Homo-oligomer: A and B are copies of this chain.
Amino acid sequence: MPNEREEKMNKERKEVCLSGSGGQGLILAGIILAEAAGIYDGFEVAQTQSYGPEARGGASRSEVIISKDKIDYPKVMKSDILLALTQQACDKYIKNLSNDGFLLADSTQVLKIPPFPGKIYQYPITDDAIKVMGNRLVANIISLGIIVQLTDIVSRDAIKKALISRIPARIKDLNIKALEHGFEVAKKL
Contact = CB atoms under 8 A, between A and B. Distances in A.
Interface string A21-39: 0000001000100110111
Interface stretch (A50-58, A134-142, A143-151, A180-188): A50-58
A53 to B, nearest CB: 5
Given A27-B31, A73-B75, A75-B74, A50 B55 contact: no
| Total identical chains | 2
A71 B52 CA distance: 10
Nearest to A76: B74
A43 B55 CA distance: 11
Given A27-B31, A31-B27, A51 B75 contact: no
Interface in A1-59: 27, 31, 34-35, 37-39, 42-53, 55-56
B47 A35 contact: no
Given A27-B31, A56-B39, A74-B75, A49 B47 contact: yes
Contacts of A55: 35, 38-39
A150 B97 CA distance: 41
Interface in A70-85: 70-75
B48 A74 contact: yes
B37 A51 contact: yes
Nearest to A40: B56
A72 B38 CA distance: 24
B48 A48 contact: yes
